[in-house]
Amino acid sequence: MARIVCFTDNTAVARVVQHELTDRQHALHFLSASRLTDDLRQSVRRLAPDVILLELSQTIDNPHLYFFLRSDKATRDIPIIILSSGARLAQQAAMLGADGYLQRPFLAEQLSSMVANHLAPQTAFAAA
């Protein structure tokens, strides 16, 4: 069972993530994508996720969360999958160096597949 942290303030995104990944028996933790606080930093470190889902919003300038996650020693090597409805998501994800991205709206199967692909190397390593 993987630990997944999802940064989102969108209830529709949270519902899809929860429905699809709970069925896969992953431990899900939802955190706000709109503010970076010391409590949030401590929560992410304590949760020690295997994968991070990060919703980038057009109304909230929140790429700072991405930079925090990549600069923090505890989270820099954790795969980050960006979720957004932005028209230039592919370019933004490439520019940030994200491990993956999903354009909203996305299918539940796409989410499962993307998460599984980023868990596979860890699972294979743990089994060896």
**pLDDT at site 125:** 42
Once rounded to an integer, what is the mean pLDDT over residues 84-88?
Answer: 87
Q: What is the pTM of this model?
A: 0.89
> Domains of the chain by range and CATH?
3-24+33-102 (3.40.50.2300)
Asked whether residue 52 carries a pLDDT value surpassing 90, the answer given is yes
Give the H/E segment covering residue 54: strand 51-55
Length of the chain: 128
Asked whether residue 123 carries a pLDDT value surpassing 60, the answer given is no
The C-alpha atoms of residue 20 and residue 117 are separated, in whole angstroms, by 15
Predicted confidence band at 36 (pLDDT cuts at 50, 70, 90)?
A: confident
Strand 27-31, strand 100-103: pairing: unpaired
Asked whether residue 124 carries a pLDDT value surpassing 50, the answer given is no
> Helix, strand or coil for residue 33?
coil
